[in-house]
Amino acid sequence: MKIFCVGRNYAAHAMELENDIPDRPLIFMKPATAILHKERDFFIPEFSDNIHYEGELVLKIGKNGRSVQKKFADSYISHITVGLDFTARDLQDELKSKGHPWEIAKAFDNSAVLGEWQDYDQFRNKLLQFQLLKNGEQVQHGDSSLLLFSFDDIITYISSFFTLQNGDCIFTGTPAGVGPVASGDKLEGILMGKSVMNCNIR
């Protein structure tokens, strides 16, 4: 399984971190060891003093494909959920300032949380909304119509470089509202009014 992630895919999020808005999808990857297994809590790692939550719509790929044409891209999505892309913001800022790669700030163990997968057929051709709640209060709200690069754009672009395989995941980008977590926090992801993801911070 490969885990692809799209950076700066909501203009408001790019601006809140004072980043340029990209003219093509900004892709990075996480290893399979980044997945936080269900029913496990997220423990803040010792190497960072500023772990941020980033709530995102996450796609699951349902069949293999290479160089997928945009008109067929939607057929490669089998499931969808809300996930978390945890980021060691202090490490990321330091590495970016030096022009260094920042995988260790994004791809560390347990940095990817996946909610309960939902059959994508029930949402196909619909605008999708999701919320991230922190301790019961909304901190992020995402709308697929606000994506700079649509699901189809993302799949077409990624598959021009990498073969997509059944079971691969794509984190499609986070909206504005990212922020730090602390021990005792509870994060909940809501997809189209349904709670699909819960994560306790330790």
CATH of residue 11: 3.90.850.10
> What pLDDT, on a 0 to 100 scale, did the predictor assign at position 195?
98
> What pLDDT, on a 0 to 100 scale, did the predictor assign at position 22?
85
Domain count for the chain: 1
Residue 96 tokens, joined: 């970016």
3-state secondary structure of 158: helix
The answer to whether 128 and 55 have CB atoms below 8 angstroms apart is no
Divide the 202 residues of the chain into consecutive groups of 10 and give the mean pLDDT of each group: 95 67 93 94 98 98 98 98 98 95 97 98 95 98 95 98 98 96 98 98 98
Residue of 62, 106, 113, 61 lying closest to 88 (CA atoms): 106
> What pLDDT, on a 0 to 100 scale, did the predictor assign at position 16?
66
3-state secondary structure of 167: coil
Domain interval for residue 182? 3-200
Q: Say how far apart CA 125 and CA 118 lie, in whole Å.
A: 15
> What pLDDT, on a 0 to 100 scale, did the predictor assign at position 39?
82
Residues 6+ apart with CB under 8 A from 46: none
| Exposure string over 160-196, b if 16+ CB within 10 A, otherwise e | eeeebeeebbbbbbbbbbbeebeeebebbbbbbeeeb
